[in-house]
Amino acid sequence: MSEVVRPPPSVGIGKKRQPARRAGHRMNPDHLQLALPFIALVVMLVVIFAIRPAAFSYFGFGLLFNLAVPLILASMAQMLVICLGDIDLSVGNFVGFVTCVVAVFLRDKPFIAMLLLAAGIVAYAAVGVLIQLRSLPSIIVTLGMSFVWLGLALLILPSPGGTAPDWLTATMALQTPWIPLPLVIAVALAAAGHWLLKRSAYGVVLLGAGANPRAAARAGWSLLQARIMMYGTAGGLAVLSGLALSGLTTSGDPNIAPTYTLLGVGAVILGGGSFTGGLVSPVGTVVGAMTLSLAGSLLSFLNVPPVWQVGAQGVILFLVLAGRVFIGRSGR
Amino acid sequence: MALSTLRERPTLELRAAAKSFGPVRALRGTDFSIVAGDVVGLVGHNGAGKSTLMNIIAGVVGRDAGDFLIGGTAIGADYSPAKALRHGVRCVFQELSLCRNLDLAENTRMLHASLRGFGWRGRAGRLIHGMLEDIFPEHGIPLRAKVEDLSLAERQMVEIARAYTDTDLPARFVILDEPTSSLGHEATAQLLRFIRRAADRGVASILISHRLDEILEVCDRVVVMVDGEVVGRREAAGLRRRDLVGMMGHIETPLAEEATRRSLGIKRIATPGTPGQELPIEASAGEVVGFAGLDGHGQRERLRMLFFAAGGEGEAAYVAGDRGAEGVFPLWSICENMTIRSIAALRDGLLISRVRERVMARDWVDRMKVKTDGIDRLLTTLSGGNQQKVLFARALATDAPIIFLDDPMRGVDVGTKQEVYRMIREEAAAGRCFVWFASEIEEMANCDTVYIFHQQRATTRLQGTEVTSARIVQASFGEDALV
Amino acid sequence: MQSHSIRQSPWLFGFIGAAVLFVATIIVSRGGGASATFHAAMAFSIFSVLVAISQMLVITSGPGNIDLSVPAVLTLCAYIGMGVMHGSNAWIPVGLLVVAAVGLLAGAFNYAAILLLRLPPIIATLASSFVFQSLAMNAGGDATIKPPSLLSAFTSLSVGPVSVLAVLVVLLTIGLAIGLKRSLFGRRLLATGQSEAAARFAGIRTRQVRLISYAGAGLFSGLAGFLLAGFTGGAALNMGDTYLMESIAVVVLGGTSVAGGQANAIGIWGSALFFNLLTIMLNSFRTPVGLRYLLTGAIIILIVTAATRPLTRT
C-alpha cells in the first residue's frame, strides 16, 4: 500500500501536494530552477556573439548589460516584497521619482536630496506597517503608492530633464579592471543578496516568515518587524536603482521606469521565485533580470522585426516558465 | 536526576483553565500540572480539549480564565510563544510547524534566537544533527535537505529533534502532539526510549497520542480528557489499555434508542473493496451510513472521493464541517448562502426568481429553526451552530438523492445537534441517502450502518444494534477488523 | 458585526466624490462650463467603465486574479477592428464580430496559460500582453486606418446633452449588475471568488466559471478598443497604456473586492466619473498633473484603508 501517504487535512482541494522527494539522487529541483534562466541567458549570449563576434569584448559586455543594472536593483526590491507573499506595483514609479530627485537636487542641494530619498525609504517601510497592521491587500496599497510617486515625481520635475551629478555619471561609467562594471555589480548584488537573505541568521527568519508566517510567529518572531525590514530594504534598493538609472541617463524622468514594476515581477518568477512567499532566489532574480534586459538586444541582433520584439519577449517568458512545469513546480 | 533532586524541581501548573471558542467550551476549568522529569500522557477522543490545553501552554492561544505558573512564576495575559520559549516550553504541533523552504539547520535557527553571528549555521546544524542522532540513530535524513524534500515521517523526526535541542534556553517542558502518527515502528520505539532518557535528565514531556500502548509504555502518569474536562488522572503503572478506553468511552448521553431498520431502497453507492484489506462500502436510499475512526485514518478523504465521483449535476450535495474554508461564503447573506446549490431550479426565465429564492430560504430557516432576525443578515453573523444549520439547509433544499456530511457537527452545541439529527432521520425516512463522516463517535448512534476506518481503509462494519460507542472505539484502535 | 448596508457602502464614495466635484465645477464656473464638463467626463468614463468591467470580471473570480493584458487586448482589437473594416461602413457588423471573437479568444488564452502552465495570473497575463502587443503592431502596419465614418459618428452621437453610447454602457452596466446578483453565472462567479473550495463543494464547476470570466474580460477590453478607436479617429499603439492601472483603481474604488467574490458594476460608474471629473477639473484649473496623480494615489490608499474590514476569518 504505497498510496496511503495521507495529505494533511488542511490542504485545500485546489492545491496539489508536493510529493515528498529525496534530495541527492537526481538534480536538486532548486538548482534546476536556477539553471533555467541561467541557461536562457547563456544561450542568448552565445547567439549574440555568434552573430556579432565583436560584441564579445570588455565594451561589448558593458553595453549589453549597462541598462540591466537598475533593473536588477528594482527586481531585487520586488523580490523582497514577493518573499513575504506580497507584491509591489509602485517600484517602477518610485524609481522614476528617485531619478527626478537626483536630477533636480542631488548636484546642488545634496542635503535636500538625501532627505527626500530617506523619506522615500521610510515611506516604503510605512507601507509595510500599514499592510501588516490592517491586513490590507498589498496590490492595492502599492497601486495607490505608484500614483503617489508618479505625482511627486511630476511635481519635482514636470518634464524629463535636470542633470545628474557628475560623480554619479562617472561612477556608472567607471571602467573596472578586467570585468566590466555592470557584471561586477550584478555579481556583487547576487552574492550580497544570497548571503544576506539565504545565509545570514536573520535572513533565514525572514524567509521562514514568508513561507509559514504561523510557524514564525509560534517560534516567537515579530511579523511586523519582518515587514518593516523587507519593505524598508526594498525601498533602499529601489533608491539605488534610481541612482544607477539617472547615472546612466544623466537626467531625470518621472516616466522612465514604469515597466520596472512588472519586469521585476517577471525577473523574480523567472529566477525561480513564487508568489506563495518565502520562495525567492537573489541569484535567480539577478539572472532573471539580466535575461529580460538582454532579450531585447538579442531580438534586434537576430533581426527580429521591431513589431515582433515585444511579442517574442512574451514568448520567451512563456517558454522559460513552461520549463518549470516540467520540472514539476508551479509558480503559485 | 541527582542534580535536580538537590534543587526544587520546576513545575508547570495550570489551575482551573477555561477557554471558549464562540459557543464551544473547549476547556471547562481544567487543572493540569507537570514536574520536571515527568512524562505525562494526555488522552481523549477528538475534540476533548487536548489541543486547546497544549496551545495555551505554548502561548499560541490565550486562556479565558485560570492561573498559570511555570517554575513558581505567575504567567500573565501577555504570555506569547516567545515567552513560552524563554520558559523552556517547546511544542511539536500536529500540523508541523517547520518552514518547508528551509533546511534542517535553518529551521533549528528559527527556534533559537541565540543562534546567530558567525558560524551560526554550523552550530545549528550540529545541534539538530546531534539531537537527531541521539533520538533516531541511523535516521538517514540528508543533512542539507530542505524540509519540502523530506517525507512526512522525516519531517516529524526533525520537528521532534528540534524541540529537544538546547541552546542558552534549554528545553524543559516538551509537548508532543501525536508525534508518532507518521513514524514507523522502529522510529517510534526510538522516540519512546529517548523520552525516558530525557526525563532522566530532567526534561518533562507531555505526550498526546491515540496510540494507547505507547502512552502506557512511556508515561509516568496518564490524564484522560472528555469534553474539555479531565475525567481521570492515574499512575501509568498497572494501568491497562482497556481501562483507558473505558474512561474515554464513557459518554454521558446514552447511544441511540433502538435502531430501527428502515426498508432500504435502491443502492446509491457501492465500492468493490479489497478482499482481506478493505470492506466494500454500500449505501442505499433511505440509509444513513457513518464513517468513523481516529483522526487522519482516511475516512474524510474517502468521503470526498465518493462525493466527487458521485458529483455531477444534482446527484450529490455536500455539507462541509470546515465551515470557514469549505462551506460558508463569507460575503453572502443567509439567503444567498442557502440557495446557491438550488439556483438553477429557482430560475424564472433567465434570472433567479427573488420571490422563489426568498420563499425557499424562509421556509428552511423555519424548518431548521435557524435563530436569526432575517434572511438578509450575513451568514457569518450567526453562531456556529446556526451557520451549520444553514449549510445543512443548502444541501437538504436540493433534490440531490445522496447527501455527504463531512463532520458537520464540529463545534456545534448539543441542542442544535439534536435538531439536526431529527432532520436527518426525517429526510432519510423520506428516501434520502446520507453518508456521514463524524469525528465524535456518539454521532454515529444516528447511523444505520457504520464503517470504521483504520489506516486509510474501512476495516469494520457495524450495523443496527452493533453500533455502540464501545465497539466503535475498539475498532478505531484496530482491535477487531474486517467484521 | 457590520450590517449589510455598511459593508457595501464604499462604492458610494465614488458617486459622492463625483457629485462634490461636479457641484464645485458649477460653482467655480458659475454654471457656465458645467454642461461641457459633464459631457466630457461622461465621454471619457465610457471607456474607463468598459475596461473596468473587464478587470472586475477577472478580479472577482478569486484572490490573486488580475488581468494585466487589458491594455494590450484593447489595442489589438482596435487595430484588428480598424483593419477588418478598412473605413467601410458596411463592414462595421463584421468588424464588431471579429473584435468580439478576438477578445474572447485572448481571454481564453490567458486562462489556458494560467491553468495549463500553472502560472500565477499576474505573470500569465503579463506575458500574454507582450504577445498581444506584438500582434497589434503587426495588425496595425504602418498606416493608420481611419474608422468607418458611421462608427465615429456613433461614438460621439448625442441626443440633446446625452451621449447615446454612454446610455448604452449605462444599460450594459445595469444589466451586469443584475446578472451578477441574479443570473446563474453571476452567482457562481461570486461564489467561486469567495472560496473556490466552498464553491466546488456546492457543486460549481469552478474552472468553467473562471474560463468564462477571463474570456468575458477579453470581450469587454476588445469592445472598449473598438469603440475608443472609433471615438479618437483610429487605433494607436499607446492607446491602452493608461488603462492598466486605471482599470484596477476604478474597479476597487467602485466597491469590488480585490480578494475576490464581491463585485459592484454600478460602483464602477461612480469611481470612473470621479476620476475623470477630477482630471478635467484639475486640468481646467491648470493644476500640475503631478498633483492629480498624488491625489489619486492618496485617495486609493485612504479608501482601501477605510473600507477593508480587519480579517475576521481564522
First to last CA, chain C: 15
Nearest to B202 by CA among B446, B6, B420: B6
DSSP string, A53-72: GGGSSHHHHHHHHTTHHHHH
Nearest CA-CA distance, residue A293 and chain B, Å = 29
Which single residue is written with the C-alpha cell 460507542? Answer: B469
Q: Are strands B347-348 and B316-320 parallel, antiparallel or unpaired?
A: unpaired
Kindly list the residues from chain A whose CB atom is less than 8 angstroms away from the CB atom of residue C106.
Answer: none
Q: State how far the Cα of B129 lies from the Cα of B120, in Å rounded to an integer.
A: 14
CATH number at residue C297: 1.10.3470
Give CA separation, A128 vs A134, A136, A141, A225, B62, in Å: 10, 10, 10, 9, 27
Kindly list the residues from chain B whose CB atom is less than 8 angstroms away from the CB atom of residue C4.
Answer: 333, 376-378
**In chain C, whose CA is at the least distance from the CA of B352?**
C182
Q: Does A329 touch chain B (CB under 8 A)?
A: no
Checking phi first, is residue B437 left (phi over 0); if not, alpha (psi -120 to 50) or beta? beta
The domain total for chain C is 1
Judge whether B205 and B198 are in contact, CB under 8 Å.
Answer: yes
What pLDDT band is residue C292 in, cutting at 50, 70 and 90? confident
Nearest to A94 by CA among A81, A83, A84: A81
Kindly list the residues from chain B whose CB atom is less than 8 angstroms away from the CB atom of residue C201.
Answer: 307, 318, 320, 326-327
8 Å CB contact of C195 and B326: yes
Give CA separation, B356 vs A47, B63, B389, in Å: 67, 46, 20
> What rounded mean pLDDT belongs to chain A?
85
In this complex, which chains have at least 3 CB pairs below 8 Å with chain A?
B, C
Q: State how far the Cα of B307 lies from the Cα of C203, in Å rounded to an integer.
A: 10
Cell numbers that stand for A158 in this block: 514636470
Q: State how far the Cα of A77 lies from the Cα of C217, in Å rounded to an integer.
A: 31
8 Å CB contact of C194 and B325: no
8 Å CB contact of B329 and C178: no
Which single residue is written with the C-alpha cell 465615429? Answer: C152
Q: State how far the Cα of B150 lies from the Cα of B140, in Å rounded to an integer.
A: 11
Q: pLDDT tens for residues A74-103?
A: 999 999 999 999 999 999 999 999 999 999
Judge whether A252 and A162 are in contact, CB under 8 Å.
Answer: yes
Q: What is the pLDDT of residue A25?
A: 42
What pLDDT band is residue A52 in, cutting at 50, 70 and 90? confident
8 Å CB contact of C289 and A143: no
Kindly list the residues from chain C whose CB atom is less than 8 angstroms away from the CB atom of residue B341.
Answer: 202-203
The beta-carbon neighbor of B300 closest among A9, A24, A30 is A9
DSSP string, B37-54: T-EEEEE-STTSSHHHHH
Multiple choice CATH, B2-249, 3.30.70.3400, 3.40.50.800, 3.40.50.300, 3.30.930.10: 3.40.50.300
DSSP E strands in B322-401: the ranges are 347-348, 351-352
Give CA separation, B321 vs A9, B300, B387, B438, C48, in Å: 12, 10, 11, 9, 43
Q: What is the pLDDT of residue C65?
A: 93
Kindly list the residues from chain A whose CB atom is less than 8 angstroms away from the CB atom of residue B80.
Answer: 220
Nearest CA-CA distance, residue A331 and chain C, Å = 6
8 Å CB contact of C195 and B377: no
Cell numbers that stand for C71 in this block: 491594455
Residue C257 has pLDDT above 60, yes or no: yes
Largest Cα–Cα distance of chain C, in whole Å? 60
**In chain C, whose CA is at the least distance from the CA of A151?**
C290
DSSP string, C108-164: HHHHHHHHHS---HHHHHHHHHHHHHHHHHHHH-SSPPPPPHHHHHHHT-EETTEEH
Q: Running along chain B, 483 residues long, what does each successive block of 10 average in pLDDT?
A: 52 90 79 92 80 89 90 87 91 83 93 89 93 91 87 89 90 90 83 94 90 88 88 86 74 44 67 78 88 82 88 79 86 94 90 93 90 86 83 91 87 73 88 87 84 86 82 74 47
The beta-carbon neighbor of A279 closest among B101, B109, B301 is B101
Q: pLDDT tens for residues C140-149?
A: 665 578 889 9
Whether residue C214 is contained in a domain is answered as yes
Q: State how far the Cα of C212 lies from the Cα of C206, in Å rounded to an integer.
A: 10
A68-83 helix and A201-211 helix, angle to the nearest 10 degrees: 60
> What rounded mean pLDDT belongs to chain C?
87
The beta-carbon neighbor of C304 closest among A144, A254, A325 is A144
Angle subtended at Cα A104 by Cα A99 and Cα A108, rounded to the nearest 5 degrees? 125
8 Å CB contact of B144 and A23: yes
B356 half-sphere exposure, CB direction, 13 A CA radius: 14
3-class SS shares of chain C: helix, strand, coil, % to 5: 75, 0, 25
Kindly list the residues from chain A whose CB atom is less than 8 angstroms away from the CB atom of residue B56.
Answer: none
Q: State how far the Cα of A179 lies from the Cα of B159, in Å rounded to an integer.
A: 46
**In chain C, whose CA is at the least distance from the CA of A97?**
C290
Please give the torsion angle defined by the CA atoms of residues B343, B348, B352 and B356, in that order, rounded to the nearest 10 degrees: -80
Nearest CA-CA distance, residue B373 and chain C, Å = 12
Q: State how far the Cα of C310 lies from the Cα of A84, in Å rounded to an integer.
A: 19
Give the predicted TM-score (pTM) of the model: 0.82
Q: State how far the Cα of B166 lies from the Cα of B150, in Å rounded to an integer.
A: 23
Q: What is the pLDDT of residue B76?
A: 86
8 Å CB contact of A331 and C200: no
Q: What is the pLDDT of residue B246?
A: 79
Cell numbers that stand for C256 in this block: 469590488
CATH superfamily of domain region B267-476 = P-loop containing nucleotide triphosphate hydrolases (3.40.50.300)
Kindly list the residues from chain C whose CB atom is less than 8 angstroms away from the CB atom of residue B351.
Answer: 178, 182-183
Within 10 angstroms of residue C266's Cβ, the number of other Cβ atoms is: 17
8 Å CB contact of B318 and C203: yes
Structural domain spans, chain A: 66-323
**Three-state secondary structure call for residue B5:** helix
DSSP string, B108-165: HHHH-TT--STTHHHHHHHHHHHHHHHHSTT----TT-BGGGS-HHHHHHHHHHHHT-
Cell numbers that stand for B95 in this block: 500540523
Kindly list the residues from chain C whose CB atom is less than 8 angstroms away from the CB atom of residue A265.
Answer: 122-123, 126
Best-predicted range by mean pLDDT among A33-37, B470-474, C183-187? C183-187
Kindly list the residues from chain C whose CB atom is less than 8 angstroms away from the CB atom of residue B381.
Answer: 1
Q: Does A216 touch chain B (CB under 8 A)?
A: yes
DSSP H/E element including A227: helix A223-249
Q: State how far the Cα of A158 lies from the Cα of C291, in Å rounded to an integer.
A: 11
Nearest CA-CA distance, residue C62 and chain B, Å = 12
Whether residue C1 is contained in a domain is answered as no
Interface test with C, best of A16, A89, A149, A310 (most C CBs within 10 A): A310
Q: State how far the Cα of C32 lies from the Cα of C37, in Å rounded to an integer.
A: 10
Interface test with C, best of A93, A262, A292, A313 (most C CBs within 10 A): A262
Q: State how far the Cα of B224 lies from the Cα of C277, in Å rounded to an integer.
A: 69
Kindly list the residues from chain B whose CB atom is less than 8 angstroms away from the CB atom of residue C198.
Answer: 320, 325-329
Kindly list the residues from chain A whose CB atom is less than 8 angstroms away from the CB atom of residue C117.
Answer: 318, 321-322, 325
Q: pLDDT tens for residues A123-176?
A: 999 999 999 998 888 988 999 999 999 999 999 999 998 899 999 999 888 888
Whether residue C2 is contained in a domain is answered as no
Q: What is the mean pLDDT of residues A54-67?
A: 85
Cell numbers that stand for A103 in this block: 536630477
Q: What is the pLDDT of residue B335?
A: 95
Structural domain spans, chain B: 2-249, 267-476
8 Å CB contact of A317 and C134: no
**In chain C, whose CA is at the least distance from the CA of A93?**
C293
Local structure of residue B465 (DSSP, 8 states): G
Local structure of residue A161 (DSSP, 8 states): B
Which single residue is written with the C-alpha cell 453507492? Answer: B269
The beta-carbon neighbor of A151 closest among C66, C292, C305 is C292
Cell numbers that stand for B152 in this block: 512526512
Amino acid at B336: E
B237, β-bridge pairs: none
Kindly list the residues from chain A whose CB atom is less than 8 angstroms away from the CB atom of residue B102.
Answer: 204, 207-208, 211
Q: Does C283 touch chain A (CB under 8 A)?
A: no
Q: State how far the Cα of B49 lies from the Cα of B30, in Å rounded to an integer.
A: 10
Amino acid at C40: A
DSSP H/E element including B177: strand B173-177
Within 10 angstroms of residue A191's Cβ, the number of other Cβ atoms is: 13
Angle subtended at Cα A132 by Cα A130 and Cα A135, rounded to the nearest 5 degrees? 90
Give CA separation, B140 vs A22, A26, B122, B143, B179, in Å: 11, 17, 19, 9, 19
Q: Which domain covers residue C224, as residue numbers?
A: 11-26+33-306
Interface test with C, best of B305, B318, B329, B407 (most C CBs within 10 A): B329
Whether residue C314 is contained in a domain is answered as no
Cell numbers that stand for B138 in this block: 541511523
The beta-carbon neighbor of B116 closest among A18, A201, A214 is A201
